[in-house]
């Protein structure tokens, strides 16, 4: 990754997490948009996350989760530094059943484009 994108990712990571205003979806969408703006391939991945909560003796919490994959590298900035102290580092979030939302979206767009061509030719 280039320096500009790394600095942007770090800035997004440091923003406080908020379930309604600044959650994993919004953070990941901003990073994906910036990576694409810089000409890099970025995908949005939706999954089930298993998160150990340090504060409660590593009780595991399962929840929906979204992160970005930039050119095959996982970029997960859901928890800010303060939340990582209570919960766990982003790197320790276990991912179950990852689904590449961007790939599905591209397939639908491509299929819709083909269907549109068939309708115009008919």
pLDDT digits (tens, 9 = 90+) for 28-71: 999 999 999 999 999 999 999 999 888 788 789 999 999 999 99
Q: Which domain holds residue 87?
A: 3-121
Alpha helices in the chain (DSSP H): 3-14, 24-37, 81-86, 101-121
pLDDT digit string, tens, across residues 76-94: 999 999 988 888 899 899 9
pTM of the predicted structure, to 2 decimals = 0.83
Number of domains in the chain: 1
Q: Which of 85, 74, 72, 73 is nearest to 17 (CA)?
A: 85
Residue 120 structure tokens: 């115009």
Residue 86 structure tokens: 């209570």
Q: Cβ(95)–Cβ(63) under 8 Å?
A: no
What is the C-alpha separation between 36 and 63, in angstroms, rounded?
A: 27
């Amino acid at each position: 990754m280039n320096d500009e994108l790394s600095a942007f990712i770090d800035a997004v990571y440091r923003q406080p997490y908020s379930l309604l205003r600044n959650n994993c979806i919004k953070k990941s969408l901003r990073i994906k948009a910036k990576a694409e703006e810089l000409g890099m391939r970025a995908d949005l991945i939706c999954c089930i996350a298993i998160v150990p909560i340090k504060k409660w003796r590593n009780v595991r919490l399962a929840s929906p989760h979204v992160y970005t994959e930039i050119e095959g590298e996982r970029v997960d900035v859901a928890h800010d530094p303060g939340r990582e102290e209570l919960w766990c580092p982003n790197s320790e979030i276990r991912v179950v059943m990852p689904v590449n939302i961007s790939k599905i979206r591209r397939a639908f767009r491509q299929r819709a484009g083909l269907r549109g061509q068939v309708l115009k030719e008919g």
